Amino acid sequence: MTHASALPVRGIRSFVRRQGRLTSAQRRALDDYAPTYCLPIDRVFDPVGVFGRQAPLFLEIGFGNGECLAAMAANRPDCDFIGIEVHPPGIGHLLLALQRSALPNVRVYAHDAMDVLPRVLPERTLDAVHVFFPDPWPKKRHHKRRLVNADFLALVARKLQPGGALHIATDWQEYAESMLALLNASELFVNTSPDGAYCPRPDYRPETKFERRGMQLGHGVWDLIFRRSKAAPGPA
Protein backbone atom coordinates (compact mmCIF):
# COMPACT_ATOMS: atom_id res chain seq x y z
CA MET A 1 0.00 0.00 0.00
CA THR A 2 1.33 3.46 -0.89
CA HIS A 3 0.98 5.82 2.06
CA ALA A 4 0.22 9.55 1.83
CA SER A 5 3.77 10.38 2.88
CA ALA A 6 4.99 9.09 -0.51
CA LEU A 7 3.01 11.76 -2.34
CA PRO A 8 4.40 15.13 -3.39
CA VAL A 9 4.04 17.66 -0.58
CA ARG A 10 1.34 20.27 -1.16
CA GLY A 11 0.52 23.42 0.80
CA ILE A 12 -1.29 23.80 4.12
CA ARG A 13 -2.83 20.52 5.22
CA SER A 14 -6.07 20.08 7.13
CA PHE A 15 -4.70 17.32 9.36
CA VAL A 16 -1.81 16.45 11.64
CA ARG A 17 -0.12 13.17 10.88
CA ARG A 18 -0.65 11.48 14.24
CA GLN A 19 1.77 8.70 15.15
CA GLY A 20 -0.82 6.41 16.69
CA ARG A 21 0.41 2.96 17.60
CA LEU A 22 -0.54 0.20 15.20
CA THR A 23 -1.78 -2.93 16.89
CA SER A 24 -0.46 -6.21 15.56
CA ALA A 25 -3.91 -6.97 14.10
CA GLN A 26 -4.05 -3.60 12.32
CA ARG A 27 -0.56 -4.11 10.93
CA ARG A 28 -1.51 -7.54 9.60
CA ALA A 29 -4.67 -6.05 8.08
CA LEU A 30 -2.65 -3.42 6.25
CA ASP A 31 -0.29 -6.10 4.94
CA ASP A 32 -2.92 -8.71 4.08
CA TYR A 33 -6.04 -6.78 3.06
CA ALA A 34 -4.78 -3.56 1.49
CA PRO A 35 -4.42 -5.24 -1.93
CA THR A 36 -8.14 -6.07 -1.79
CA TYR A 37 -9.57 -2.85 -0.39
CA CYS A 38 -7.08 -0.02 -1.01
CA LEU A 39 -7.03 1.83 -4.32
CA PRO A 40 -4.00 3.34 -6.09
CA ILE A 41 -3.76 7.08 -6.53
CA ASP A 42 -2.06 6.84 -9.92
CA ARG A 43 -5.15 5.47 -11.68
CA VAL A 44 -8.44 7.22 -12.49
CA PHE A 45 -11.27 5.73 -10.47
CA ASP A 46 -13.67 3.57 -12.49
CA PRO A 47 -16.76 2.60 -10.44
CA VAL A 48 -17.77 -0.33 -12.65
CA GLY A 49 -14.20 -1.59 -12.88
CA VAL A 50 -13.77 -1.44 -9.09
CA PHE A 51 -17.17 -2.66 -7.88
CA GLY A 52 -18.38 -4.58 -10.91
CA ARG A 53 -21.64 -2.65 -11.10
CA GLN A 54 -23.22 0.77 -11.53
CA ALA A 55 -24.66 1.85 -8.16
CA PRO A 56 -25.05 5.01 -6.07
CA LEU A 57 -21.58 6.04 -4.91
CA PHE A 58 -20.80 7.68 -1.58
CA LEU A 59 -17.52 9.16 -0.37
CA GLU A 60 -16.50 9.66 3.27
CA ILE A 61 -13.55 11.99 3.84
CA GLY A 62 -11.56 11.35 7.02
CA PHE A 63 -13.30 8.18 8.22
CA GLY A 64 -11.25 7.85 11.43
CA ASN A 65 -11.47 4.23 12.57
CA GLY A 66 -14.08 3.45 9.90
CA GLU A 67 -16.86 2.62 12.36
CA CYS A 68 -19.41 4.83 10.64
CA LEU A 69 -18.34 3.91 7.11
CA ALA A 70 -18.56 0.17 7.73
CA ALA A 71 -21.99 0.52 9.35
CA MET A 72 -23.35 2.58 6.44
CA ALA A 73 -22.00 0.09 3.91
CA ALA A 74 -23.53 -2.83 5.79
CA ASN A 75 -26.88 -1.03 5.97
CA ARG A 76 -26.83 -0.09 2.26
CA PRO A 77 -25.66 -3.09 0.23
CA ASP A 78 -27.28 -1.49 -2.81
CA CYS A 79 -24.74 1.38 -2.65
CA ASP A 80 -20.97 1.59 -3.00
CA PHE A 81 -18.66 3.53 -0.67
CA ILE A 82 -15.22 5.07 -0.86
CA GLY A 83 -13.34 6.11 2.27
CA ILE A 84 -10.37 8.46 2.50
CA GLU A 85 -8.05 8.46 5.51
CA VAL A 86 -4.35 9.10 6.13
CA HIS A 87 -3.81 7.51 9.55
CA PRO A 88 -2.68 3.84 9.35
CA PRO A 89 -4.28 2.66 12.64
CA GLY A 90 -7.71 3.83 11.48
CA ILE A 91 -7.21 2.30 8.04
CA GLY A 92 -6.13 -0.98 9.58
CA HIS A 93 -9.14 -0.94 11.91
CA LEU A 94 -11.50 -0.49 8.96
CA LEU A 95 -9.80 -3.18 6.87
CA LEU A 96 -10.29 -5.64 9.72
CA ALA A 97 -13.99 -4.75 9.89
CA LEU A 98 -14.43 -5.07 6.13
CA GLN A 99 -12.77 -8.48 6.05
CA ARG A 100 -14.62 -9.72 9.14
CA SER A 101 -18.00 -8.65 7.75
CA ALA A 102 -17.18 -9.60 4.15
CA LEU A 103 -18.34 -6.20 2.90
CA PRO A 104 -17.78 -6.01 -0.86
CA ASN A 105 -19.01 -2.43 -1.34
CA VAL A 106 -16.18 -0.41 0.28
CA ARG A 107 -12.82 0.73 -1.07
CA VAL A 108 -10.21 2.94 0.58
CA TYR A 109 -7.73 5.63 -0.42
CA ALA A 110 -4.88 5.87 2.11
CA HIS A 111 -4.04 9.40 1.05
CA ASP A 112 -4.90 13.04 1.65
CA ALA A 113 -8.37 13.87 0.31
CA MET A 114 -7.02 16.96 -1.42
CA ASP A 115 -4.72 14.72 -3.42
CA VAL A 116 -7.39 12.12 -4.19
CA LEU A 117 -10.26 14.37 -5.25
CA PRO A 118 -8.51 16.31 -8.04
CA ARG A 119 -6.41 13.38 -9.26
CA VAL A 120 -8.52 10.27 -9.51
CA LEU A 121 -12.25 11.01 -9.14
CA PRO A 122 -13.96 11.99 -12.40
CA GLU A 123 -16.42 14.86 -12.36
CA ARG A 124 -20.09 14.10 -11.62
CA THR A 125 -19.15 10.70 -10.14
CA LEU A 126 -20.46 10.94 -6.57
CA ASP A 127 -23.99 10.82 -5.21
CA ALA A 128 -22.92 12.10 -1.79
CA VAL A 129 -19.87 13.32 0.10
CA HIS A 130 -19.74 12.83 3.89
CA VAL A 131 -17.40 14.76 6.18
CA PHE A 132 -18.11 13.65 9.73
CA PHE A 133 -16.36 15.47 12.58
CA PRO A 134 -13.46 17.07 10.71
CA ASP A 135 -10.68 18.57 12.80
CA PRO A 136 -12.08 21.97 13.93
CA TRP A 137 -8.66 23.62 14.36
CA PRO A 138 -10.17 25.76 17.12
CA LYS A 139 -7.40 28.37 17.42
CA LYS A 140 -8.06 31.30 15.12
CA ARG A 141 -4.52 31.28 13.73
CA HIS A 142 -5.13 27.69 12.59
CA HIS A 143 -8.45 28.30 10.84
CA LYS A 144 -6.59 28.32 7.53
CA ARG A 145 -6.03 24.58 8.04
CA ARG A 146 -9.73 23.76 8.15
CA LEU A 147 -10.81 21.39 5.42
CA VAL A 148 -14.12 23.07 4.61
CA ASN A 149 -13.48 26.32 2.76
CA ALA A 150 -14.53 27.87 -0.54
CA ASP A 151 -11.95 25.93 -2.58
CA PHE A 152 -13.04 22.64 -1.02
CA LEU A 153 -16.71 23.37 -1.80
CA ALA A 154 -15.89 24.15 -5.43
CA LEU A 155 -13.93 20.91 -5.74
CA VAL A 156 -16.67 18.80 -4.13
CA ALA A 157 -19.31 20.41 -6.33
CA ARG A 158 -17.41 19.28 -9.44
CA LYS A 159 -17.29 15.69 -8.21
CA LEU A 160 -20.96 15.48 -7.18
CA GLN A 161 -23.81 14.62 -9.47
CA PRO A 162 -26.22 17.56 -9.85
CA GLY A 163 -28.50 17.21 -6.84
CA GLY A 164 -25.88 15.14 -4.99
CA ALA A 165 -25.53 15.68 -1.25
CA LEU A 166 -22.78 17.17 0.89
CA HIS A 167 -23.31 16.11 4.52
CA ILE A 168 -21.05 17.55 7.22
CA ALA A 169 -21.35 16.86 10.94
CA THR A 170 -19.40 18.58 13.70
CA ASP A 171 -19.45 18.90 17.46
CA TRP A 172 -17.72 22.29 17.37
CA GLN A 173 -20.33 25.05 17.34
CA GLU A 174 -18.17 27.85 15.98
CA TYR A 175 -17.05 25.64 13.09
CA ALA A 176 -20.66 24.66 12.43
CA GLU A 177 -21.69 28.32 12.27
CA SER A 178 -18.78 29.16 9.98
CA MET A 179 -19.56 26.30 7.58
CA LEU A 180 -23.28 27.10 7.60
CA ALA A 181 -22.61 30.70 6.63
CA LEU A 182 -20.16 29.62 3.92
CA LEU A 183 -22.54 27.06 2.42
CA ASN A 184 -25.63 29.27 2.60
CA ALA A 185 -23.71 31.97 0.71
CA SER A 186 -22.54 29.55 -1.99
CA GLU A 187 -24.32 29.37 -5.32
CA LEU A 188 -23.06 25.79 -5.67
CA PHE A 189 -25.21 24.30 -2.89
CA VAL A 190 -28.76 24.46 -1.56
CA ASN A 191 -29.60 23.87 2.10
CA THR A 192 -32.01 20.97 2.66
CA SER A 193 -33.07 22.36 6.04
CA PRO A 194 -36.46 24.12 5.75
CA ASP A 195 -35.31 26.94 8.02
CA GLY A 196 -31.94 27.37 6.30
CA ALA A 197 -30.04 26.13 9.34
CA TYR A 198 -29.10 22.65 10.58
CA CYS A 199 -30.74 19.25 10.04
CA PRO A 200 -31.58 16.50 12.51
CA ARG A 201 -29.18 13.57 12.36
CA PRO A 202 -30.55 11.34 9.58
CA ASP A 203 -31.00 7.64 10.25
CA TYR A 204 -28.28 6.72 7.75
CA ARG A 205 -25.57 8.42 9.84
CA PRO A 206 -24.83 6.14 12.79
CA GLU A 207 -23.88 7.68 16.12
CA THR A 208 -20.25 6.89 16.88
CA LYS A 209 -18.73 6.12 20.28
CA PHE A 210 -16.88 9.44 20.06
CA GLU A 211 -20.14 11.27 19.42
CA ARG A 212 -22.05 9.54 22.21
CA ARG A 213 -19.25 10.28 24.67
CA GLY A 214 -19.31 13.94 23.72
CA MET A 215 -23.07 14.18 24.08
CA GLN A 216 -22.82 12.65 27.55
CA LEU A 217 -20.48 15.51 28.40
CA GLY A 218 -23.01 18.02 27.14
CA HIS A 219 -21.48 18.67 23.74
CA GLY A 220 -23.78 19.57 20.86
CA VAL A 221 -23.72 18.03 17.38
CA TRP A 222 -24.66 19.92 14.24
CA ASP A 223 -25.51 18.28 10.89
CA LEU A 224 -25.35 20.31 7.71
CA ILE A 225 -26.93 18.66 4.66
CA PHE A 226 -26.76 20.51 1.37
CA ARG A 227 -27.41 19.48 -2.23
CA ARG A 228 -25.38 20.48 -5.22
CA SER A 229 -27.38 23.07 -7.09
CA LYS A 230 -28.55 21.92 -10.50
CA ALA A 231 -28.31 25.53 -11.62
CA ALA A 232 -24.72 25.95 -10.41
CA PRO A 233 -22.13 27.04 -12.97
CA GLY A 234 -19.71 24.45 -14.22
CA PRO A 235 -20.44 20.81 -15.13
CA ALA A 236 -24.09 19.86 -14.83
Sign of CA dihedral 6, 117, 109, 210: positive
41 and 116 Cβ atoms separated by less than 8 Å = yes
Q: Is 171 a catalytic residue?
A: no
From 135, 151, 171, 223, the catalytic residue: 135
Cα–Cα distance, 87 to 221 (Å, whole number): 24
Cα–Cα distance, 157 to 155 (Å, whole number): 5
List Cα–Cα distances, 70 to 54, 201, 214, 219, in angstroms. Answer: 20, 18, 21, 25
**Sequence-ordered alpha helix ranges (H) in 127-172:** 150-159
Cα–Cα distance, 169 to 128 (Å, whole number): 14
* 113 backbone dihedrals φ, ψ, rounded to 5°: -60, -35
Active-site positions read 135
